[in-house]
Amino acid sequence: MNSLYASIYNCFLRLKATIVGDNCYRIYSQLDCEQWLNHDEIQALQLRRFRNILKNAAVNSPYYRKKLSDLKVSYRDIQSINDIHQIPLLTRSELQSHFREILCENAGNVYADSSGGSTGQPVNFYHDSSYIRYANAVNLLFYKWMDIEPGMKTAAFWGADREFNELSMNEKFWYMHTRVRLYNFFNVTEASLLKFLQNMSNYKPAYIYGYASALKMAAEYINNSELSFNISPKAIRSSAEILFKSQRHEIETAFNAPLFNFYGSREINNLGSECEYHKGMHIFSSGRLMEIVDKKGNPVPDGENGFIVVTDLTNMNFPFIRYMNGDMGVIDKNQCTCGRGYPLLKEITGRAAEILCINGKYVHGEFFTHLFYGMPEVRQFQVIQETDNQIRIRIVAINRDIDIEGIEKKIETQINGKIQIQIEYVDNIAPLKSGKYQLIINNTL
């Protein structure tokens, strides 16, 4: 039944794409071939796409027009992948200050978005239609790697600002026809976790995705419970956080299914994922050019830890060129057993959306990143938990015109109780020794 619905659903999606002229399936077929290209062929393709993005940015993006003209660098100077180091890095601070000038003047339909990120430094940006089509095509490819079809019953262990019954009709319709059932892990108790698992036992999802910590929390409950749950998906996807080896073991044992680690960010999604061999995450190199650099921006050799820098080769209208997203990682020197040419990201070593435990309730660090979405006056923030019912929020702000009462209210609604919240305006928040900013510090552990 799961497969029958999914097959009909996929026929409908293809038909709809043909009618509205969406070429996502054409891009998907292209990716399906490109994933098997060898290293040199992939680099040649990336170089061509990088030059296109740069050429367009130099003409149409006020930020890059000035930057490239000051540096006297043109897309013609980029003759090999090594030449891209002539283009300066785009840091989160630069993005915060210049996001309006980065947008191309001739941009057609673009969609504004913002992100708190795991670094606690909120940024605003835009996505265009080709970015979205590429993202959809990569999703199809990734589903194929997991042997899942869109439309199969899905359980999402996710964080949401609103419960299902508070969603708009359109949103509810989306969850229903995609057959995604949302389990809100922003704020869970033992009782609500048991309810989720019982509900899931009846629903029988073929696919589960969620935050690593949320998956682990559910898995731990199942593994330590005397109750039995009838949840046996074909695949599980973990994303948005570092996945630790012990977590993988716990999750795979509880659900008796393979876990696929996935890496993406709100600014540039679909960065990498594990294939069926689980040797590391293949970087989706057709649309993402990833580098690892040191603190000064110099490339580090494969196999060494450094800062992740990404160029989005799909978003022509809001050029993300050599964007340092705040994460750290290691690229593997070795090839994967599957034979795909997309290089492997061995591990993400720095990504710190962590969990607070307030009055016995877990609040995911990601909740705070959502809290500051769409508040451009907040440049940076950090949440420190001092005691069980006391948190301190440090804010670097452009001005103090911030709805503190509103923030406090949302937190108290989230934890369903009272908590002492201290707001501290600071001039800056120092990074950790590694250079990574820590969004959540839990001093009660």
Interacting residues toward Zn ion by CB under 5 A: 275, 277, 336, 338
Residue matched to tokens 């690229």: 331
Q: How far is the CB of 27 from Zn ion (least distance, A)?
A: 21
Q: How far apart are CA 375 and CA 198, in angstroms?
A: 38
Q: Which residue's CB is nearer to Zn ion, number 117 or number 272?
A: 272
Q: Minimum CB separation from Zn ion for residue 335, in Å?
A: 8
CB nearer Zn ion, residue 167 or residue 338: 338
CB of 36 to Zn ion, least distance (A): 11
Q: Which of 186, 250, 180 is nearest to 219 (CA)?
A: 250
Residues 6 or more apart whose CB falls under 8 angstroms from that of 232 comprise 204, 255, 256, 257
What is the number of helices (H) and of strands (E) in the chain? 12, 20
Please say which residue, 338 or 441, places its beta carbon nearer to Zn ion: 338
**Residue closer to Zn ion (CB basis): 336 or 345:** 336
CB of 250 to Zn ion, least distance (A): 24
Q: Which is nearer to Zn ion, 337 or 443 (CB)?
A: 337
In the complex with Zn ion, which residue's Cβ is closer, 32 or 294? 32
How far is it, in rounded angstroms, from Cα 216 to Cα 414? 21
Residue 361, CA distances (Å) to 282, 424, 438 in order: 36, 24, 21
DSSP per-residue codes, 345-392:
EEEEEE----EEEETTEEEEHHHHHHHTTT-TTEEEEEEEEEETTEEE
Find the shortest distance in angstroms from Cβ 246 to Zn ion. Answer: 23
Q: Collect all residues with Cβ–Cβ distance below 8 Å to 192 and sequence separation of at least 6.
A: none
Q: Is 181 or 248 the residue whose CB approaches Zn ion more closely?
A: 248
**How far apart are the C-alpha atoms of 223 and 231, rounded to whole Å?**
12
**132 vs 338 by CB, closer to Zn ion:** 338
Q: How far is the CB of 261 from Zn ion (least distance, A)?
A: 12
- Containing H/E element for 157? strand 154-158
Q: What is the b/e burial string over 136-155, where b = at least 16 CB atoms within 10 angstroms of the residue's CB?
A: bbbebbbbbbbebbbbbbbb
For the chain, the first-to-last Cα distance in angstroms comes to 46
Rounded to a whole number of angstroms, the minimum distance from the CB of residue 284 to Zn ion is 12
Q: Are strands 207-211 and 187-188 parallel, antiparallel or unpaired?
A: unpaired
Q: Compute the least distance from the CB of residue 133 to Zn ion, in Å.
A: 24
Residue 31's H or E segment, with its range, is helix 24-34
404 and 377 Cβ atoms separated by less than 8 Å? no
Distances (CA, A) of 17 to 10, 23, 26, 391: 10, 7, 10, 48
Query: What is the crossing angle of helices 24-34 and 129-146, to 10°?
Result: 50
What distance in Å separates the CA atoms of residue 49 and residue 34, rounded to the nearest whole number? 14
Angle at which helices 92-102 and 62-71 pack, to 10 degrees?
A: 110
Residue 138 beta carbon to Zn ion: minimum distance, rounded to whole angstroms: 15
Which residues make Cβ contacts (< 8 Å) with residue 246, sequence separation at least 6? none
Minimum CB distance to Zn ion smaller for 339 or for 376: 339
**Of 148 and 182, which CB lies nearer to Zn ion in the complex structure?**
148
Give min distance, CB of 336 to Zn ion, in A: 3
Report the nearest approach of Zn ion to the CB of residue 147 (Å): 14
Of 280 and 287, the one with the shorter C-beta distance to Zn ion is 280
When the beta carbons of 156 and 275 are compared against Zn ion, the nearer one is 275
CB of 275 to Zn ion, least distance (A): 3
